[in-house]
Amino acid sequence: MAQVALEKVVKRYGSVETVHGIDLDVAHNEFVVLVGPSGCGKSTTLRMIAGLEEITGGTIRIGDRVVNALPPRSRNISMVFQSYALYPHMTVRENLGFGLKIAKQPEAEIVKRVNEAAEILGLHAYMDRLPQHLSGGQRQRVAMGRAIVRNPDVFLFDEPLSNLDAKLRGQMRVEIKKLHQRVQTTVIYVTHDQVEAMTLADRIVIMRDGHIEQVGTPSDVFDRPANVFVAGFIGSPPMNQLDGEVASEAGRPVARLADGIAVPLPPDLAGKATAGQPVILGFRPDSLAPRGHALHNEADSLALTRPVIIAEPLGTETIVFTDFAGREVQGRMLNPRPVRAGETMEFTLDLTRLHVFDKASGRSLRG
Amino acid sequence: MTAVAESAAAAPQNRLTIERPWQRWLIRLGVFVAMVVLCLPGLWVVLTAFRPNIEVLAKPTIWIPQNPTLDNFLKIFGLLPAQQEGLPVAQYFVNSLVISITSTVVAILIGMMGGYAFARYRFRGKAALFIGFMLSRSIPGVALSLPLFIVWSRIGLIDTPLGLIIVYLAINVPFTIWLTDGFFRQIPVDLNEAAQIDGCTRWQAFWKVEFPLARSGLASAAIFAFLTSWNEYALASQLSRTVASKTMPVGLMDFTAQFTVDWTGMSAMAVLIIIPALVLTFIVQKHLIAGLTFGGVKG
């Protein structure tokens, strides 16, 4: 059993604090992704779990052991680096077996486990090559092989796909997911790419400025973002956000936007929004579509007639830019037809999937 | 990936092929002139070592030796039948070897650790210390000869191999630190960290991963340190007096008398000085393969 627990973990460099007392529990065999913009402390957190950075305060547990003062070699973890960090003077076979050799495993055992890892990752064809004679994807696989060969309690991944081109990144993402299904182990994975986070994670941890903003399953953070930051960070294209003020019309709470349009708020927010409260109204591009091209039920929606600013055809869908309450917003058009810039279209806005955030605190009114 | 590597490898060739033929010849001529200027004195020393004294002093100049001979070498070892004694060349050679090898090995050990510390660790006063080391290189060695002579004579290091070894260490360590610092910097820290995660202690990570990768850098540092000690004349001539510590370059002065210089003997000994340096350079050259660290990290 290898659960990982962080309690009030702090990292300080001199007088600069970069991680401010975070708490996180990762269950056995769980795939947790730390995601956030650069400088949010996600890599530092991972390196503290690995033992490559000392922690300034708090406790880190792997399994039942407190590992605060243990060096990396005593934590039974393995790590895949962004740069792969393959040993350039060793062949693929030697790279894979290095950790076992250091652990003084018998030669037969090393051969067996290296071959198993090579089998899983399809490395057999280039076992005797040096890393410099491998492509980026192959190097990535060797790095993963080196990580699984030691049967670690926890796998750590530090932005492992950032150096690959978009196509290869997609392929390797699938391979990592398959690998986790095959080699059931606890995984902590750091990325700045929210698509990677959404596709790989059992749970996502969204970090900003050394704090955890939200922890939840991909659907939690997508459908119920805790605050404006999470709402803007998760989802592509990002959530549209408009300034407004809570008002009451015919006994139902509405958000009155800059140009006077009143958008009825979902009924579950009835007791939570107070009249006069400045809010940010958020809706995903999926919730705004030209009539007849929507994902949502158009019966419970707000109709808006707007000119198209620009359209981005993507094949199966087109991202349509229009303006709403003085701001440029994006909508998603399914089963698209050709759209001209300047063309006036009737859009429908799904009222059941609105997000409302308190403007001052940025927190979701759903709590 | 392969295509990218191929096009990268092909790029310099393409650049050569678009040169005009006359440009290429001009470059060759320039290289030839430079090589003549560099090699001619050395060649002249070698030629002089293999000819009789009468040819050296002849006018007009005899360029190519007419009567090549090994007598000059036999003479300096005292092996010519007509000659009663030679010079203690063998002892000079041993002195030079002991002093150069010891100072090189110790300088590489200390310098490598220093270079690694500068490349990998953060500590107070690091920049100032590094600049201090480099500034020590800016002092001309000869300027130190008088103070060194006084101090060495007080503490009994004059005319001892140890005295010269310490001096050469002081010259070579800062240079080795500077050179190996650069090499260790080129090796990504990730490799050390990966090795630690793979179960190594910091020391093992250094020996098993970073040291093999820095080997080419250490080889060049060793060559520089060895040649500095092997060829150094100014300080050695001040700090050595007798056969006990005289090195080969200092021994060269044995060929000058009050009114004469034995040019052929001196040249023969100069050839003996050149040979080990040349052999060492050829041996170590194989290890000076750059770019070994390429490929381990990033795509």
Given an 8 Å threshold on Cβ–Cβ distance, is A135 in contact with B293? no
What are all long-range contacts of A194-201, with beta carbons under 8 Å and residues at least 24 apart?
A194/A35, A194/A233, A194/A234, A194/A235, A194/A236, A195/A236, A196/A33, A196/A35, A196/A161, A196/A169, A197/A33, A197/A35, A197/A234, A198/A222, A198/A234, A199/A173, A200/A31, A200/A33, A200/A173, A200/A176, A201/A31, A201/A32, A201/A33
pLDDT surpasses 50 at B9? no
Residue that terminates a domain, selected from B38, B73, B108? B73
Let me know whether B115 and B159 are in one domain.
yes
Domain stop point among A188, A213, A233? A233
Q: Do both B129 and B264 map to the same domain?
A: yes
Q: Domain check: are A178 and A199 in the same one? A: yes
Within this chain, do residues B43 and B110 fall inside the same structural domain, yes or no?
no
Max CA distance (Å), chain A: 79
Q: Which residue of A has its CA nearest to B212?
A: A89
Residues B287, B217: Cα–Cα separation, whole Å: 9
Task: Specify the residue for token string 């939840």.
Answer: A216
B chain contacts of residue A86, beta-carbon cutoff 8 Å? 194, 295-297
Q: Is the pLDDT of residue B12 over 80?
A: no
Give the total number of structural domains in chain A. Answer: 2
Same domain? B200 vs B64:
no
Per-residue confidence (pLDDT) for residue B296, from 0 to 100: 44
Name chain B contacts of A102, Cβ cutoff 8 Å: 198-200, 204, 208
Please report whether residue B299 resides in a domain: no
Range of the domain at B15: 2-73
Q: Is A19 helix (H, G, I), strand (E, B) or coil?
A: strand
B-chain residues near A77 (CB < 8 A): 197
Residue B83, domain member (yes or no):
no
Given a cut of 50, whether residue B280 has pLDDT beyond it is: yes
Binary contact (A71, B299; C-beta < 8 A): no
Q: How far is A91 from chain B (nearest CA, A)?
A: 10
- Residue B153 falls within a domain, yes or no? yes
Give the confidence band of B80 by pLDDT, cuts at 50, 70, 90. Answer: confident
CA distance A46 to A332: 36
Q: CA-based angle A278:A284:A290, to the nearest 5?
A: 115
In-domain check, residue B295: no
**DSSP letters spanning A164-221:** S-HHHHHHHHHHHHHHHHHS--EEEEEES-HHHHHHH-SEEEEEETTEEEEEE-HHHH
Final residue before a domain boundary, out of A233, A258, A290: A233
**Which helix or strand (DSSP H or E) is residue B222 part of?**
helix B211-231
> Distance between CA B101 and CA B225 in Å, rounded?
9
Q: Do B196 and A71 touch (CB under 8 A)?
A: yes
Q: Which of A79, A84, A136 sits opposite B197 (nearest CB)?
A: A79
Subunit contact A86:B298, Cβ cutoff 8 A: no
- Tell me whether residue B81 is in a domain: no
The answer on pLDDT for B4 being more than 50 is no
Is residue A35 within 8 A of residue A59, CB to CB? The reply is no
In this structure, are B52 and B10 located in the same domain?
A: yes
Task: Provide the number of structural domains found in chain B.
Answer: 2
We report the CATH number of the domain holding residue A101 as: 3.40.50.300
Q: What is the mean pLDDT of chain B?
A: 85
Question: Is A141 inside any structural domain?
Answer: yes
Q: How far is the C-alpha of A61 from the C-alpha of A64, rounded, in Å?
A: 6
Tens digit of each residue's pLDDT (9 = 90 or more) over B32-60: 999 999 999 999 999 999 999 888 888 88
Overall average pLDDT of the B260-264 stretch: 87
Q: pLDDT by residue (tens digit) across B220-230?
A: 888 889 999 99
Domain co-membership, A174 together with A316: no
Q: State whether A278 and A294 are in the same domain.
A: yes
The predicted structure's pLDDT at residue B288: 61
Q: Which pLDDT score is estimated for A132? A: 92
Answer whether residue B106 is part of any domain.
Answer: yes
Q: Quick one: pLDDT at residue A221?
A: 95
Domain end among B22, B47, B73:
B73
- For residue B48, being part of any structural domain is answered with yes
Q: Do the domain assignments include residue A364?
A: no
| pLDDT > 90: percent of chain B | 53
- The long-range contacts involving B50-53, CB below 8 angstroms and separated by at least 24 positions, are B51/B264, B52/B264, B53/B262, B53/B263, B53/B264
Q: What is the rounded CA–CA span in Å between residue A180 and residue A203?
A: 14
Nearest CA in chain B to A104: B199
Same domain, A227 and A296: no
Residue that is written with structure tokens 């190996």 in the block: B180
Please report whether residue B235 resides in a domain: yes
Determine the Cα–Cα distance for residues B165 and B249; give it in Å rounded to an integer: 15
- CATH number of the CATH domain containing B197: 1.10.3720.10
Residue A302's domain is classified under what CATH number? 2.40.50.140
In angstroms, what separates the C-alpha of B4 from chain A's closest C-alpha?
10
Question: What's the pTM?
Answer: 0.81
B113 CA: distance to closest CA in chain A (Å) = 21
**Four-point Cα dihedral A86, A83, B189, B202, nearest 10:** -50
Peptide bond into B60 cis (omega under 30): yes
Return the number of CB contacts < 8 Å for A and B: 95
Q: Are B275 and B128 in the same domain?
A: yes
- Cα separation, B195 vs A72, in Å, equals 9
Contact assessment for residue B228 and residue B168, using Cβ atoms and an 8 Å cutoff = yes
Q: Report the distance separating Cα A234 and Cα A364, nearest Å.
A: 15
Residues A315 and A256 in one domain: yes
Domain match, B114 and B248 both: yes
Q: What is the pLDDT of residue B61?
A: 85
Instruction: Determine the 3-state secondary structure of A24 from DSSP.
Output: strand
Q: Is the pLDDT of residue B22 over 50?
A: yes
Residue of A nearest to B298 (CA): A83
Residue A366 lies in a domain: no
**Same-domain status, B166 and B49:** no
- Band (B75; pLDDT cuts 50, 70, 90): confident
Same domain, A183 and A298: no
**How distant is the Cα of A124 from the closest Cα of chain B, in angstroms?**
19
Tokens of A55: 């922690």
Min Cα separation B279/chain A (Å): 27
pLDDT, residue A236, reads 87
Q: Which residues of chain A have pLDDT under 50?
A: none
Which pLDDT tens digit goes with each residue over B97-148?
999 999 999 999 999 999 999 999 988 999 999 999 888 888 888 888 899 9
Q: Which domain holds residue A245?
A: 240-358
Choosing from B21, B47, B73, the residue where a domain stops is B73
Asked if residue B103 and residue B8 are part of one domain, the reply reads no
* CB-based contact B27:B239 (threshold 8 Å): no
Could you tell me if A28 and A186 are in contact, meaning their C-beta atoms sit under 8 angstroms apart? yes
Give me the mean pLDDT over the B54-67 stretch. 87
Q: A98 vs B198: CB contact, 8 Å cut-off?
A: yes
B298–A102 CB contact, under 8 Å: no
Q: What is the pLDDT of residue B2?
A: 40
Same domain, yes or no, for B192 and B231? Answer: yes
The domain boundary residue, chosen from A182, A214, A233 = A233
- Please indicate, yes or no, whether residues B196 and B257 belong to a single structural domain of this protein: yes
**Joined tokens for residue B286:** 């194989």
Query: Do B57 and B196 have their domain in common?
Result: no
Looking at residue B64, what is its pLDDT?
A: 86
pLDDT at A168 (0 to 100): 86
